[in-house]
Amino acid sequence: MGSPANFVTIRDGKVTVAYSRNGALEILEISVFGPEFVTRFLDAWQRLGPTDEFDDDAEGGLLVDFDRRVLMMFSAHRGTHLRAAYLDAVTRTWPGWQVRWAYDGIADLMDHAGADSSHLRGKPAEPAALYWRERTEQLPPHLRDRIEQMPPRYVVTIGDTQAYGLGWNAVAPWRVGPGLIEQLDPADRITTAETMPEAGMHLDPSTRTAGVWSAVQPLHGLAGYWPRLWPGWTLLLWDDRSGEQLQRCAGSVTFPAAEPLGRARLAESVMMTWSFFVAEDFRRNCRRAYIFRKLVEAARENGWFRAREQTRITRQELSTALETITGSPWPAPRWPHFKEPRRSGISRLLRR
């Protein structure tokens, strides 16, 4: 399993590709620092984990084109607010660069690098069933309560009268085809969502037009297979512009825009990813992890761990990044003495 990712650089016309089994989970935490820092990390990782191939199933990707000063990325493992905080920060940490989110996933990175993505964009598409797991009513009460409290992942609107919030047990609605309308469950009708969903789809049956936006989930060549999956329907691609859907559904549903409210969460995640590897503290941190000494020794044989070690992040670099993300002074933390979620810091840094 894992959460695979490709890391790509283009320098003096040469394309270099590296692979990580779980790198999609830390695309944002790596690239938020800026070009000089990311260059050090990618140089280290590409020495340790090179490959000549893109992973068709990549759930994340980072491309740094030094020739054209283009930064491109995507990750299917970040919510809308965390992503918004990241995109807000990189406008300042990558000045003079074009920053692009890869809405089509790995195929967009392949296109930019001159690789052939036709096998991804031309994939045959078969209609999917909308609900792919048991309905929540069939779950034990304690699980059902937790699921029902989760915000919707997708919002589907039909004309200006109907809106549906789809959660954990639904596939991306654009993969269903025109049968989507019949499969929507009345129990999923909503009029508001407290947080911005990851993606949305608006259907106008009178004009047979569909609009799709996605802030997190890659579309994986939707435009290419759309005519076969939705014959007779016109597709409008709205990138991450959720307002296009809200404008057309005439108030049948409301949800907030993804302002960069995830600044603190992104800063915490950056700390969890990098504080152990601060160059001035690294030897001390290895000693302080004596309880996990054998795990650390084993991890140093792992390329992902060693790439972060060899990046040699400084306290000043970490502090500057945290201040850029949050908009307020934030001294570099000393591992492991900082606020963190209720999980083992050592387990996260070793899991790659």
Quote the pLDDT of residue 349.
47
Quote the pLDDT of residue 290.
57
Yes or no: say if 61 and 106 are a contact pair by the CB < 8 Å rule. Answer: yes
Per-residue tokens: 246: 């809200």
Q: Is the pLDDT of residue 136 over 60?
A: no
Residue-wise pLDDT for 324-339, tens only, equals 999 988 887 788 765 5
Yes or no: say if 184 and 145 are a contact pair by the CB < 8 Å rule. Answer: no
How far, in Å, are 80, 85, 195, 269, 275 from residue 262 at the CA level?
Answer: 8, 5, 12, 11, 19
Which has the minimum average pLDDT: 42-56, 153-167, 230-244, 282-296?
A: 282-296
Task: Say how far apart CA 198 and CA 244 lie, in whole Å.
Answer: 14
Q: Is the pLDDT of residue 48 over 50?
A: yes
- pTM beyond 0.75: yes
With bands split at pLDDT 50, 70 and 90, how would you rate the model's confidence at 98?
very high
How far, in Å, are 5, 89, 127, 225 from residue 155 at the CA level?
Answer: 27, 27, 19, 22
Quote the pLDDT of residue 199.
96
- What is the overall mean pLDDT for the chain? 87
Closest CA to 85 of 173, 215, 236, 213: 215
Yes or no: say if 24 and 109 are a contact pair by the CB < 8 Å rule. Answer: no
The residue-averaged pLDDT of 118-144 equals 72
Q: Is the pLDDT of residue 342 over 90?
A: no
With bands split at pLDDT 50, 70 and 90, how would you rate the model's confidence at 310?
very high
Quote the pLDDT of residue 341.
39
**Residue 327 or residue 135, greater confidence:** 327
Residue-wise pLDDT for 180-225, tens only, equals 999 999 999 999 988 899 999 999 999 999 999 999 989 999 999 9
The residue-averaged pLDDT of 25-42 equals 96
pLDDT above 90 as % of the chain: 63
Query: Which residues lie closer than 8 Å to 100 by C-beta, 6 or more apart?
Result: 70, 71, 72, 73, 108
Quote the pLDDT of residue 140.
66
Q: Is the pLDDT of residue 351 over 70?
A: no
> Highest mean pLDDT: which of 98-102, 121-125, 195-199, 223-227?
98-102
Q: Is the pLDDT of residue 289 over 80?
A: no
Quote the pLDDT of residue 135.
55
> Considering only the top CATH level, what class is 5-121?
alpha beta
The residue-averaged pLDDT of 158-178 equals 92
Cis ω on the peptide bond leading into residue 336 (within 30° of 0)? yes
Task: Say how far apart CA 42 and CA 1 lie, in whole Å.
Answer: 23
Q: Is the pLDDT of residue 122 over 90?
A: no
Per-residue tokens: 253: 């549903």
Amino acid residing at 209? T
**Residue 317 or residue 291, greater confidence:** 317
CATH 3.30.420 occupies which residues in the chain? 5-121
Task: Say how far apart CA 331 and CA 324 lie, in whole Å.
Answer: 12
Q: How many residues does the chain have?
A: 352
How many CB atoms are closer than 10 A to CB 104? Answer: 22
Instruction: Please give the full DSSP string across 284-340, using - where no structure is assigned.
Output: HHHHHTGGGHHHHHHHTTSHHHHHHHHH---HHHHHHHHHHHHSS--PPPBTTBS--
**Residue 258 or residue 269, greater confidence:** 269
Specify the pairing of strand 50-51 against strand 14-20: antiparallel
Task: Say how far apart CA 187 and CA 130 lie, in whole Å.
Answer: 14
Quote the pLDDT of residue 55.
93
Q: Is the pLDDT of residue 64 over 60?
A: yes
Yes or no: say if 98 and 106 are a contact pair by the CB < 8 Å rule. Answer: no
Per-residue tokens: 287: 């000693």
